[in-house]
Structure 1
Amino acid sequence: MTLIQLEYIIAVDTYKSFVLAAEKSFVTQPTLSMQIQKLEKSLGVRIFDRSKQPIVATDIGAVIINQARSVLKERDKIKELISETQDELGGEIKIGVIPTLAPYLLPKILGSFMEKYPKMKLQIWESTTTKVISELKLGLLDCGILSTPLNDGELIETPLFYESFVAYISENSSLNKSKTVSATELLNEKLWLLNEGHCMRNQVLNICQKKRALNPEQTLEYNTGSVETLKRMVDMNSGVTILPELSILDFNEDELEHVRYFISPEPVREISLVTTQNFLKKKAISFLTKEILEAVPEKFKSSKRKELMSID
């Protein structure tokens, strides 16, 4: 049994394909297949059920693969121990961020982070919460920046800040003269929503539970995967949408005329840095956390916000 063989079975389990696993491992498929067959022969068990597509692990194979992940993680800790002793932060960190947060948070932190740590390579993907969680557990990501709580015992959530939701209303709306709004007042408005699969869609529906129960056919509009598109839908087609507060920080005066905060208790989402239980790259992730906390406005970090209407 070799560490390379363990890497190969993890790759096949991750990508559910010998061809793709070989490509991601930078070897030919025959080489990868031969090494896995050698491992299976030495262990006396079948790790994969090759009769199924996509490829799946056998029952004992799944146990072996989980142990292989643990073995390789312990190996990588040796590299991290060395990295921790070095003055200049280097290496690579892979981050998953939800799309309703990434465009508004990342530009505020990436420039300064890369300037401070020029040897650190960042790889960032915008993905849904479900995909980020899956890739964290598979070891494809080092950390995620997500809306929490996730209620997953395999993950560690480190709260970073608390972000309010605001209403963005059309100039033709009956609420245009109001300084604040409530979920009840949105009952007669056309509401533009994100597509299925976005956690913010569910959070908005939770804010408007009364609306959903009373008249869902007339009050909900299914539309897009982009927060920016939601805003444009309101501008061009009337109605209302609900936006995360970070997205309005760079609004001009005309755009802010369309923004309304909710009456107390304001709906708030918790944003956390999420890792697996035995995560690596602790030093790099701690510096990333510090950079985020320095970038967001102080009011977002207030513990009082946590006491408002949490939306999960």
Structure 2
Amino acid sequence: MNIQQLEYIIAVDNHRHFAQAAQSCYVTQATLSMMIKKLEEELDIVLFDRSKHPVEPTAAGYALIEQARIILREISYFKNMAQQSVHGLQGELRIGIIPTLAPYLLPHFLPPFLRKYQEIKLKIYELTTEEITDKLAKDDLDIGILATPLNIPGYQEIPLFYEPFQVYVARSGSQAFKKKYLLPEDIDLENLWLLEEGHCLRSQIMNLCELQKQQTEHHNMEFGAGSIESLLKIVDINQGITILPELAAIELPPHQKKYLRAFKAPVPVREISLVTHRHYIKKGILEVLCAEIRECIQPLLPISEKQKQAIVEIGH
């Protein structure tokens, strides 16, 4: 048994296809298949059900492949410890961040971080929650920054901050527009517009307003907004209502800020966390990343101890 064989079985699990796995490992399919077959013979276990398309791990294979992932992470951790002891914090960091957060957090966080840690190379991808968790499971990402809790076994969630919600009311004649503070029951559900399915913000708002799927469907128009900017344009056109996270609301121009209304206490918030494997190897980089994000966000979202007692967290 060797490290290369473990890498090969993980590649097959990720791609569920021997030819694609071989290509990702820069070897021929014959070489990859032979090495995996030798490992199966050594262990006296069949790791993959080759009769299925796409190929799937066997029951025994699932557990062994997951252990192989842990072993390779520990080997990387060992190497990373050695490098940090000599060179300090350095290396590549692959981050996935949800679309309702990326445009509003990154401009505040990236410039000071990149100036301070010039030996760390960031690769940042804007992805949905499902895409982030899928790529974390396949080791295609190191870290996710997203709304939690997710409560996925084997992962750690490190809370970074709590982001309040605000109501955006583009219908100036409505009762909601006339009020300074709103409760969820003040929101006109017939005129409420949401992001398309797949965005966690959509699920959070549906939970907040206790919505069923059919209540989000408009009679004569269907629009799948993929970003907050697109959502606001359609809300403005239809004089509708939507709910925005605070960081997005802060960025609005004056002519749109006049449509914002705060929630009455308890104020609904979403928890934003850094999510990674419990066995994540670059713990030094993880610590500075958390510290830098918290430092840049604190002036934007200052929450006092009194305010903490008057908030309610909205889950998925």
- What TM-score does the superposition give when structure 2 sets the normalisation length? 0.90
Assess if the C-alpha contact under 8 Å between 1:191 and 1:221 holds in 2. Answer: no
Counterpart of 1:252 in structure 2 is 253
Please state whether the residue corresponding to 1:51 is helix, strand or coil.
Answer: coil
Counterpart of 1:271 in structure 2 is 272
Please state whether the residue corresponding to 2:224 is helix, strand or coil.
Answer: strand
Please state whether the residue corresponding to 2:193 is helix, strand or coil.
Answer: strand
Please state whether the residue corresponding to 1:283 is helix, strand or coil.
Answer: helix
C-alpha distance in 2 between matches for 1:207 and 1:146: 18
Residue type of the partner of 2:108?
Answer: K
| Per-residue CA distance 1:200-241 (angstroms, 9 max, x = gap) | 1111011111x5499665699663221111111111221111
Please state whether the residue corresponding to 2:194 is helix, strand or coil.
Answer: strand
C-alpha distance in 2 between matches for 1:132 and 1:214: 28
CA gap 1:300/1:153 in 2 versus in 1, 3 angstroms = farther
Assess if the C-alpha contact under 8 Å between 1:173 and 1:238 holds in 2. Answer: no
Please state whether the residue corresponding to 1:224 is helix, strand or coil.
Answer: coil
Aligned CA-pair RMSD? 2.3
Assess if the C-alpha contact under 8 Å between 2:194 and 2:216 holds in 1. Answer: no
Counterpart of 2:294 in structure 1 is 293
CA gap 1:173/1:296 in 2 versus in 1, 3 angstroms = farther
Please state whether the residue corresponding to 2:275 is helix, strand or coil.
Answer: strand
- Is residue 311 from structure 1 mapped to residue 294 from structure 2 by the alignment? no
Structure 1 residue 28: Cα displacement: 2.8
C-alpha distance in 1 between matches for 2:35 and 2:112: 44
CA gap 1:76/1:257 in 2 versus in 1, 3 angstroms = same
Residue type of the partner of 1:64?
Answer: L
C-alpha distance in 1 between matches for 2:171 and 2:271: 30
C-alpha distance in 1 between matches for 2:214 and 2:235: 22
Question: Matches of residues 163-312 of structure 1 in structure 2 within 5 Å?
Answer: 163-174=163-174, 175-187=176-188, 189-209=190-210, 212=212, 223-298=224-299, 300=301, 302=303, 303-307=305-309, 308-312=311-315
C-alpha distance in 2 between matches for 1:91 and 1:51: 40
Assess if the C-alpha contact under 8 Å between 2:193 and 2:216 holds in 1. Answer: no
Counterpart of 1:128 in structure 2 is 128
C-alpha distance in 2 between matches for 1:253 and 1:190: 23
Residue type of the partner of 1:69?
Answer: R
C-alpha distance in 1 between matches for 2:224 and 2:252: 22
Structure 1 residue 23: Cα displacement: 2.5
Structure 1 residue 185: Cα displacement: 1.6
- Is residue 149 from structure 1 mapped to residue 149 from structure 2 by the alignment? yes
Counterpart of 2:139 in structure 1 is 139
Greater alpha carbon shift after TM alignment, 27-36 vs 93-102: 27-36
CA gap 1:286/1:213 in 2 versus in 1, 3 angstroms = closer
- Is residue 43 from structure 1 mapped to residue 43 from structure 2 by the alignment? yes
CA gap 1:73/1:253 in 2 versus in 1, 3 angstroms = same
Assess if the C-alpha contact under 8 Å between 1:48 and 1:56 holds in 2. Answer: yes
Counterpart of 2:54 in structure 1 is 54
Structure 1 residue 257: Cα displacement: 0.9
Gaps of 5+ in 1: none
Aligned residue pair count: 311
C-alpha distance in 1 between matches for 2:71 and 2:32: 19
CA gap 1:188/1:278 in 2 versus in 1, 3 angstroms = closer
Greater alpha carbon shift after TM alignment, 110-119 vs 281-290: 110-119
| Per-residue CA distance 1:110-151 (angstroms, 9 max, x = gap) | 222222222211122222222322322332222211211122
Structure 1 residue 171: Cα displacement: 4.4
C-alpha distance in 2 between matches for 1:73 and 1:180: 49
Residue type of the partner of 1:131?
Answer: E
Counterpart of 1:10 in structure 2 is 10
